Amino acid sequence: MNSTEKDKIMIILANDGISKSGQNALEANGFKVLTTSVAQEQLMNFINEEQVAVLLVRSATTVRKDLIDACPNLKIIGRGGVGMDNIDVDYARSMGKHVINTPAASSSSVAELVFAHLFGAVRFLFDANRNMPLEGDSGFNKLKKSYAKGRELRGKTLGIIGFGRIGHEVAKIALGVGMKVIVSDKYINESSVKVEFYNGQFINVAIQSQSVESILKEADFVTLHVPAQKEYVIGKKEIDMMKQGSGIVNASRGGVIDEVALVEALDSGKLAFACLDTFENEPIPAVQVLMQPKTSLTPHIGAATLEAQDRIGVELAEQIVSILKSNS
């Protein structure tokens, strides 16, 4: 493609992929969408050579000051998902770039993963799935006895730290399961959770925010839904406040839990289990975390459902079309 042709067509690079429906929506509006996955060290050259105007990423690609400075043709940087800690957002905006994300599109998917972990953890599925292929034939009765002390979620208390969109979706499922829900969010005093049912009926449940300390002391299970932090939200001090034999879930951001303190708490029996979708050292989680037998682990797949990716792609496309058409 020569430079004249490139001037006629706005180029969009979806470096970490985009749903087919999102791609179709962009192409229907006259944009060219590239889905080549370009290595981070080659990204600057690729963007400049192809005259890319829009860069779409998820969590695998970083967009830092050096890339922003080196790629003056970039008009929009889009993040498919919620957190934008892999993008220098403020700097990009100060340089006149539009920075967009899709904060609502994956909320339900993350919330469902939280409960996939919780349901599995209270019935030891994370451990049973490791041991049944190894010992299911020779030690069936032994394993059956090992996993005979499961717990039900109904009637238990779920503490939600961070009560934004995802926290609300988690609360909806918890209330539907029959759990007591308590929340802590420094930006919210009281919120109403609308629990909708398949037949159009719904209930509204008012929930008041309380301190993190009270959440930790009261909850049977704690789930984190906070942005990336400079310091731990949950460290040894906070774990010590938690109930003996409680469990914790992190499907938000790596680095919000002190993993050294977490492993120690699991080893000692202070915590019954930890469910982790995000890790301090992604994409190479600490071996001590991976090998701890009381952990239920997934590789940062909270938003990785077909439905969520479809919503993300369409929402990104709508925002891009709105921005570029209004500026044309």
pLDDT score for 254: 94
305 burial (CB, 10 Å; 0-12 / 13-18 / 19+) is middle
If we measure between CA atoms, which residue out of 220, 219, 228 comes closest to residue 250? Answer: 228
Q: In what order do the strands lie in the sheet with 52-57?
A: 32-34, 11-14, 52-57, 76-79, 98-101
Tell me the C-alpha distance between 35 and 253, whole Å: 26
Tokens of 255: 């680095």
Active site residues: 253, 282, 300
CATH topology of domain 107-297: Rossmann fold (3.40.50)
If we measure between CA atoms, which residue out of 228, 212, 242 comes closest to residue 300? Answer: 228
Class (C level, CATH) for 3-105+306-327: alpha beta
Whether the model pTM is above 0.85: yes
Q: Which residue has the tokens 């003056």?
A: 72
If we measure between CA atoms, which residue out of 279, 310, 258 comes closest to residue 18? Answer: 310
pLDDT score for 326: 73
Pinpoint the residues of the chain covered by CATH 3.40.50.720.
3-105+306-327, 107-297
pLDDT in tens, the chain (328 residues): 444 444 568 999 999 999 999 999 999 999 999 999 999 999 999 999 999 999 999 988 999 999 999 999 999 999 998 889 899 999 999 999 999 999 889 999 999 999 999 999 999 999 999 999 999 999 999 999 999 999 999 999 999 999 999 999 999 999 999 999 999 999 999 999 999 999 999 999 999 999 999 999 999 999 999 998 899 999 999 999 999 999 999 999 999 999 999 999 999 999 999 999 999 999 899 999 999 999 999 999 999 999 999 999 999 999 999 998 877 6
pLDDT score for 82: 84
